[in-house]
Amino acid sequence: MDLQLGLVVFFVKSMNVLIFLGVSALVIPILAFASPADIGIDGSKALLLRDPIQMVPIVRGPDLTVESAQVMGPPLKGLGAVLMPLEIKIKNIGTSAVTEDFNVGAEGWATDGNVYGFDFFVTGETTHERGGVSVGGLAAGAERTYQGMLLMAPTPLGSEMNSGSRYEIHAMVDYNLDPDAGYYEWGVRETNKTNNALVIYYPLTFMRPISIGQLSILNP
């Protein structure tokens, strides 16, 4: 039986399927997953539209991140320095292990004083060449917690100390504070380098809720 030209054409975009339904035909030809091309139908042409499925690649590799950081108590002030008790928790959220050494540490300063420092040390741990604690690799999914002290001193060196009372602290993993670090190779080759630091403040700013009818307002 001849296939008449009176056709209904359906484009199923999500599957890249072109279906021809003959009005008077007994057979319904279906072209599935065809490549974009001109398809001849009795001298006429139909264009199969392309709607590609977006494929998101899975990037595999290590990915170190700072899970949390907190000040464990009030800073110790004296002898021309400030010691901030600090806990830093890191994790490898990547799909493969870190096999080389990397560092965990912090830098901090008084926002209302003149002390600054980046010497983070933990009793019993080795100091890394780039500063902070040296970590000898970390398996995928593994995490570690370090409790130590961040040493801050007056800047410029030799000036009278103003220890201040408010502090900004940047907890970091696999970091390099050298201003020229962008000019040479260093550190772990990670899938994401944007999550290697976490900023915290001391003392914390607590907020108390105030409820007005159905409206809840946070007010310092």
Q: What are the distances in angstroms from CA 4 to CA 31, 41, 44, 47, 67?
A: 18, 10, 12, 19, 67
Please name the fold of domain 64-202.
Answer: Immunoglobulin-like (2.60.40)
Domain extent listing, the chain? 7-47, 64-202
What is the tens place of the pLDDT at every residue in 73-97?
Answer: 999 999 899 999 999 999 999 999 9
pTM of the model: 0.68
Q: Within 10 A of 158 (CB to CB), how many other CB atoms are there?
A: 8
DSSP letter at 13 equals G
Whether the Cβ atoms of residue 73 and residue 86 lie closer than 8 Å to each other: no
Q: What are the distances in angstroms from CA 164 to CA 49, 114, 147?
A: 66, 7, 23
Residue 85, token pair as written in the block: 């008790």
Reduce the DSSP state of residue 131 to 3 states and report it: coil
Whether the Cβ atoms of residue 42 and residue 29 lie closer than 8 Å to each other: no
Whole-number pLDDT of residue 60: 85
Whole-number pLDDT of residue 151: 97
pLDDT band at 129 (very low <50, low <70, confident <90, very high): very high
